[in-house]
Amino acid sequence: MRSCCEKLIEHLNNDSESLRLEALNTLMSKIHTGEMEAPITGSDVNNHIHTWYSFSPYSPTKAVWMAYSSGLATAGIMDHDSVSGADEFIKAGQIAGIATTTGVECRTDFSKTPLNGKRINNPDQDSIAYVALHGIPYTQIEKVKRFFDPFLSERNLRNRHMTAKLNEITKPFNVSIDFDKDVVPLSKSYNGGSITERHILFAFSLKLISIFGKGKTLFNFLADRLNLHLSSKTADNLQDPHNEFYEYDLLGLLKSDLVPLFYIDASAECPDIMEVMRLSEQIGAISAYAYLGDISDSVTGDKRPQSFEDSYLDLLFETIKSIGFRAVTYMPSRNTQKQLVRVKELCEKYDLLEISGEDINSPRQRFICEAQRNEIFRNLFDSTWALIGHEFESAKDPCSGMFSSSVISKYPDLYERISVFKNIGQRQVKTRV
């Protein structure tokens, strides 16, 4: 029989936002009264947590609870083309007493830049790159929603075509999925969320499991009929019918091997990079290029070995600096130290803020990145607290953020600015507590 606390945790993914927040409030009350043990909070931070408003097993409230119970000091929401979960994420953070940051991730068109024709940080398409807007003031959330609405509509047109293309590939095996019946219900698109390739493949994963079950039969179908390459680790996971993360492990394999077969190039749904840069400046956010780097072994298991920016990194940094980027975001667990030392050196050369975050979209992933505890990444903790201070100041006035002309003239040195805004961020959290 499930305990009361287990039921409350389950309610964190309830369909009703008010019930989700109410369940979190009750859980925190139990912690404050000693009925539940409080987690040990360290200094770890994470600015790249996806919720079910893009693809994730977690509602914004559940994501905050996972961050809090993991011992994170701060948590940042980062959904694809959507900030529809941001208000709830902020409210949940206030209930849990954990500092939050707000961001959005999107694919943008770099074809009018010197990076045209290059495989940038998008595994599936040249000239298209993922960028993030960090530190979005809560006062600007509605404006960001309005910006992305037309792009979400265009994205769904392409999603329909990709679903049809996938069905053509699997037609010989009598396996198919319906976009409206199988894919859409897995998303929060009716409430401003985005639908991604992961939703399509998760629907396909669930369909395969419904036909073949979990374990050896499905494994044999993947290996012998679909001819997918399975690493020994993936093979072990997918031959185990008791694997609690089975659906997500299957999704990871399919994303790595199947996407190139049904992917359709994105165009109308990808705003020109300068449109996104203008939006960022208007709302007082911090534009960040998302460094991927050459991949030999995917940490998340959903990317195949592939080359990206490392062969032209100097050109990349020259370009993003000239465009007006304010930051670079990267994940310490995803790259080698040699790769990231080079990135850090270029960030310093071009006066770019370094931001970090672990790309959370699967229950198998940990919210804490131990690789980030390496002393060379100490600055990433400071930059996160500076983000929090930036959001607070920008909410009062978009011209009061870290990269406003008035603040830069007052504190021209980036590291001094980071220190100033870090102190603001930590002071605001202490004040709330």
- What would the CATH number be for the domain defined by 44-147+269-432? 3.20.20.140
User: How many percent of the chain have pLDDT more than 90?
Assistant: 91
Residue with the larger pLDDT of the pair 429 and 161:
161
Q: What is the pLDDT of residues 390-409, one digit of tens each?
A: 999 999 998 899 999 999 99
Task: State the average pLDDT over residues 193-210.
Answer: 97
Helix, strand, coil share (%) of the chain residues, nearest 5? 55, 10, 35
User: How many percent of the chain have pLDDT more than 70?
Assistant: 97
What is the pTM (predicted TM-score) of this model?
0.94
* Residue 357 pLDDT class (50, 70, 90 cuts): confident
The pLDDT of residue 298: 47
Strand boundaries in 13-52, DSSP class E:
45-49
Domain ranges in the chain? 44-147+269-432, 151-262
Q: Give me 53's structure tokens.
A: 């408003």
Mean pLDDT of the chain: 94
Torsion angle, alpha carbons of 377, 379, 382, 388, to 10: -80
Q: What is the pLDDT of residues 218-276, one digit of tens each?
A: 999 999 999 998 889 999 999 999 999 999 999 999 998 899 999 999 999 999 999 99
- Across 10-24, 155-169, 290-304, least confident range: 290-304
The pLDDT of residue 304: 61
